[in-house]
Structure 1
């Protein structure tokens, strides 16, 4: 049996890139000391997220845009060393900005994903990605997504069908915008966040890591709730709404085999019955 010790972080990151790197370095060092081999950091942890998702809000210039092959991503890879680290950032590609997540080790970039689904007014700040692809890493085959991506079952299913054993979703998921509750534990958007994490793991029978921002940034108050979910949809570790690190250890291959032994959701699909083309479903 080969076990993997993995973790997802709930932490507060802002616009100061150097300060963000200090936080990331601390979390990576603490994870390494705890024997963690796979660590997920939140969406936009390098440079911060947006101050608001309202069309009418006054925004700043947004996070610094970093090229995938630039010095900042190389710095992150150097910090990772033998670990596999996933982290969100604003990607600069020619004159286009993407809300992206990168997976690195000391060997460099292992994978990169551009957020496909954009909530509310996020498309005013970022262009949209156009694909979901899994990729191989030293800790197994991983599929990545960002925040609102996980609200769409097709996102995680595409990754699972591409062989992802571990789904990693990084987020800057806030509490509800209306009828907000003082206690984030009772927030309805937090409940949705948790439901999506468990559902995406269960329906695809994959291990799931969910990292999220905490604290306040602009008008947004993030719900934390970083977690590790097993292939049966059970939460193995959860930070709650506070900052922290959710840590779990399991044999990923065995976990998938066990979950899929009797009812294999990928195996038992009937794709010939799923006509998802526009206009296929009528009243």
Structure 2
């Protein structure tokens, strides 16, 4: 039996990178104190998210970092023996991507560029074009960035690539077009939880979902960080508050148990799909 503790963070991050690094360091310390081996931070934890999702202002976009920017090296140094997934804006020449990187004290373990761009996000970012799993000290891992998890093919591609854990990094706001009086009644709040549980259950793997809290521009971020087991069961959650959702489990054993009778990946019929 190989038990690991997995932590998903709900926290607010803005434009000030030094302030973000301080907050990341504190969250890493808290995750380490909890015994976690994996910490998933929100999308845009380094440099913040867009201030306006519908009409992004080119003059106030998040700072773009090169893939080898020293800031990422500083996060890796903070991570030490933890595996840490963190979101940022990535520069590639004149192009910008909403990106995530998985880091360890030894360096970069894996990368992802957000493939599915909602609303007017395409005015600020280019879309990524692939999903790939990678090996880490806590198991084979894949990453999604918020709207990616709306599409079942995203997590399924990672599962077929051997991912045991899918890290979902989000800056997911409450509904922009149909505000509810209570967050629990918000359409996007319900969908956020639904997608986390569905992606875990349909692929019979572990989903670790982090999200921003607080606000930016006219947006309110949901929080609702959680760890979801291979049966789609929520093992730990933060609800709408900032904090860490921490769960301890034997990932391989949980996946094997979920797939013992019905193994979704083995029973796929791709020849019937269009």
Q: What SS class does the counterpart of residue 185 from structure 1 fall into?
A: helix
Tell me the CA shift for residue 186 of structure 1: 1.8
For 1:120, the equivalent position in structure 2 comes to 119
In structure 1, what is the equivalent of residue 267 of structure 2? 268
Alignment of structure 1 residues 234-249 onto 2, 5 Å: 234-249=233-248
Deviation digits for residues 18-41 of structure 1 (CA, Å, limit 9, x no counterpart):
110010000001111111110000
Aligned to 1:41: 41
TM-score w.r.t. the length of structure 2 is 0.98
How far did 1:59 drift?
5.6
100-109 or 179-188: bigger deviation: 179-188
Matches within 5 A, 1:211-222: 211-222=210-221
**Secondary structure of 2:155's aligned partner:** helix
Q: Where in structure 2 are the equivalents of 1:2-151 lying within 5 Å?
A: 2-55=2-55, 58=57, 60-151=59-150
Tell me how far 1:176 sits from its aligned partner.
0.7
Give the drift of 1:188: 1.1
RMSD: 0.9
1:73-126: CA deviation from partner (whole Å, max 9, x where unpaired):
101100000000000000111221100000000000000000000000001111
Q: TM-score, normalised by structure 1?
A: 0.95
SS at match of 1:46: coil
For the residue of structure 2 that corresponds to 1:268, the secondary structure is coil
SS in 1 for 2:96: strand
- Deviation string 1:33-83 (CA, Å, 9 cap, x unpaired) is 11111000000000000001113x656421111111110110110000000
**Is contact 1:87–1:170 with CA below 8 Å preserved after alignment?**
yes
Unaligned runs of 5+ in 2: none
Aligned counterparts, 1:166-185, within 5 A: 166-185=165-184
Q: How many residues align?
A: 274
Corresponding position of 1:232: 231
Rate the CA distance shift 1:135–1:199 in 2: closer, same or farther, 3 A.
same
Runs (5+) with no aligned partner, structure 1: 277-283
**Aligned in 2, Cα 1:100/1:58: closer, same or farther, shift over 3 Å?**
closer
Instruction: Between 57-66 and 210-219, report the one with greater CA deviation.
Output: 57-66
